[in-house]
Amino acid sequence: MARRLRFNGTGSGDNGCPSVHEDTDSGEVIVHGPPLTDTDDVAQLQHLSEGEVAVVVPRELLADWGPRDADRKARIIDLDEFGELFRTFRHSTWRLETRRRYASDETTETYRQFVETGAAEWDPDREYPEMIRTQTAQGKRVERVRIVDQPPTVGQLYLLDNAKHNSTFGEDIRNLSREEADRLQLPAEDFWLFDGRLVALLRFDDDDQLVDVELITEPAEVVRYSRIREAAWHYAVPHEEFAAGLDKGE
């Protein structure tokens, strides 16, 4: 069975060599770079077994992209503390939504309305809209990219309808096809990035229920999530344009 490898980073541009990857299951680190070929250099290496290859990498590569604290325990917060992040961020928060279904949506009256009629009546005075309206009025940015399958799931169509409502109180919501997300090698992780310094990783169970939220502040990991944001945001399109394309069967 193939490893599940995650690209951490490179010291020589997006497609360059050398680079660091992590095995997301075992935690093992894979480093690749130019091989050490000079026979006099190779002769100085200790414990180089048959079949092993030595590679040369800049020290900065490991300092910048090597994982830290292999035994780091996840910092889990409850939903109240998670909600507080939306009141205390300083300039921007950004989300990648990757799932085909969010079970919590399906318990709402708006979801029932959407399934029955194709549209929902949104209450503009709920707590979340009012909180985001307050933040965006101060010039802060609240942005999302939602990945959509072809054809979209009911839940994804519901969120596309929801985007019209969220945009009225300041959110900038864009969409990206699953095919394009796969081309960009975006991960399946669903997360918020606050102020470019803190990641709130949303963790779901097999029934698509939000279980808890993990806070990530390790610099190399935050940079990795920031790179995901840059790629997704660059290629995503405004929700109105994306919806129009679906209506035309594009």
Tell me the per-residue pLDDT of 177-205, one tens digit each, with 9 for 90 and over. Answer: 999 999 999 999 999 999 999 999 999 99
The reported pLDDT for the residue numbered 52 is 83
CA distances from 154 to 63, 87, 248 (A): 44, 31, 18
Tell me the per-residue pLDDT of 92-128, one tens digit each, with 9 for 90 and over. Answer: 999 999 999 999 999 999 999 999 999 999 888 889 9
Buried-state track 186-214, b at ≥16 Cβ within 10 A, e below 16: beeebbbbbebebbbbbebeeeeebeebe
Mean pLDDT of 29-33: 83
| Of 52-66, 109-123, 139-153, 167-181, minimum mean pLDDT range | 52-66
Instruction: Inform me whether the pLDDT recorded for 42 exceeds 80.
Output: no
DSSP 126: S
- Between CA 227 and CA 196 the distance in angstroms is 10
The reported pLDDT for the residue numbered 71 is 59
CA distances from 210 to 48, 104, 142, 191 (A): 47, 8, 21, 12
Instruction: Tell me the pTM.
Output: 0.76
